[in-house]
Amino acid sequence: MASSSSSSTTSTRESHLRDQDLVRWIENKLGSTELWGGRQASSMLTRDMLVELETCFQELEPATKMKTIQAMAHLSPKILHAWKSRC
């Protein structure tokens, strides 16, 4: 039983670290005040990133949240379908 609990704790820790890495990456890419476009931002968002964002979206800065939301309007139907089918 101890190994099951340890395995669960390790998995949770790894998931949290992945979330932190994703938040940092998105903040670096979308958090700048430089000009940007929703199409450009959407090209960085993959299905896997969208899945991870479900758990760490609240950690993003407000401006980055807005850019991420606006970029979703430019996602390809293929990525949107893959993301929705996962839910």
The pLDDT tens digits of the residues spanning 64-85 come to 898 889 888 999 999 888 888 8
Closest alpha carbon to 53 in 42, 11, 39, 38 = 42
Does the model's pTM come out above 0.75? Answer: no
Q: CA 36 to CA 4: how far, in whole Å? A: 46
Return mean pLDDT, the chain. 80
Q: How confident is the model at residue 58 (pLDDT cuts 50, 70, 90)?
A: very high
Is the pLDDT reported for residue 5 higher than 80? no
pLDDT tens for 41-50 read: 888 888 888 8
